[in-house]
Amino acid sequence: MNTHVAPPPGRLTAEEFLAFIEDRPREERWQLIDGEAFVMMSPARLPHQRIGLNLILHMNDALRKHRPDLVAMHEVAVRVDAFPDFRAIADVAVIGSEVEDEVYGTGFHMAAEVLSESNTRELISRKRTIYGSSPDCQHVLIISQKDFAVEVWSRSSGWKGRVYRSPEDVIELPEFGFACRVADLYRGTPVKG
C-alpha cells in the first residue's frame, strides 16, 4: 500500500516537482502552486464529481453548437508559462478539441474549481489569479459543493467576479454559447433549493 510522502523541503522548480511526482502513485494528485507542492484529496467526494460532470455536460452541449473546436474535460493538468513554478489540475477545463501529447497544457480557455475541504481560500484565490493570467483563458469558475454558490470571473469584465447564489440564476459565458441555471450544476447532489 502506498502512503503519501512529503515533497522535498523548500520551494520547488517545475523540474524538481516533476521529478518528485514521477514515482508517486497516480491516485496521489499533486499540484505545484508558487513552488509549493500540494496533494489533492483523492478520490473526490461524489457531489464534487457530479457538479464537475454537470458542468462538462452542459458546456459540451454548448460547445458542440457554438465552438466545435473546443471541448470541456475533467481533471485537466495545466501550466501557465508566465508562472514556471505552477502545475495545477483544474477540475474542469475547456481546451482545444485536438489535443497534443503532453501532460500539462497551456491552451485552456476556461478553468473551473469545485471547492473541497482540502482547498484553502488562499490556494483557490491564487489558482484563480494564475488561471486568469493565461492568454487564452476567458473564464474561471469557483463552485461550492455545499450550497448554491458559483463565482464567475471573466476576462471580459476585467476579472471582476460575480457570485450566483439563487438556483434560478442563469450563468452565461457567451464566448462558448453557454448558458445554464445554477440549479443545473447541482442536479443530482444533496444541495437543494
| CATH code of residue 159 | 3.90.1570.10
* Tens digits of pLDDT across the chain (193 residues): 445 577 777 787 777 776 776 777 766 777 667 677 666 656 677 888 999 999 999 999 999 999 999 999 998 889 898 998 888 889 999 999 876 766 566 689 999 999 987 777 888 999 999 999 999 999 999 999 999 999 999 999 999 999 999 999 999 999 999 999 999 999 999 998 6
Residue 26 placed within a domain? no
Burial status of residue 134 (CB atoms within 10 A of its CB: 0-12, 13-18, 19 or more)? buried
| Three-state DSSP string of the chain | CCCCCCCCCCCCCHHHHHHHHHCCCCCCEEEEECCEEEEECCCCCHHHHHHHHHHHHHHHHHHHHHCCCEEEEEEEEEEECCEEEEEEEEEEEEEECCCCCCCCECCEEEEEEECCCCCCHHHHHHHHHHHHHCCCCCEEEEECCCCCCEEEEEHHHCCCEEEECCCCCEEEEHHHCEEEEHHHHCCCCCCCC
Tell me, what's the pLDDT at 2? 46
- 17 contacts 37 by C-beta, under 8 angstroms: yes
Residue 14 placed within a domain? no
Containing structural domain, residue 134: 46-185
Q: Which of these, 46, 58, 126, 69, lies nearest to 92 by C-alpha position?
A: 58
Residue 23 placed within a domain? no
Residue 97 placed within a domain? yes
Tell me, what's the pLDDT at 102? 66
Residue 123 placed within a domain? yes
Residue 130 placed within a domain? yes
Residue 141 placed within a domain? yes
**Domains identified in the chain, total number:** 1
- Neighbouring residues of 18: CB distance < 8 A, sequence distance ≥ 6: 87
Q: CA 53: distance to chain centroid?
A: 12
- 100 contacts 129 by C-beta, under 8 angstroms: no
Residue 171 placed within a domain? yes
Tell me, what's the pLDDT at 1? 40
Amino acid letter for position 188: G
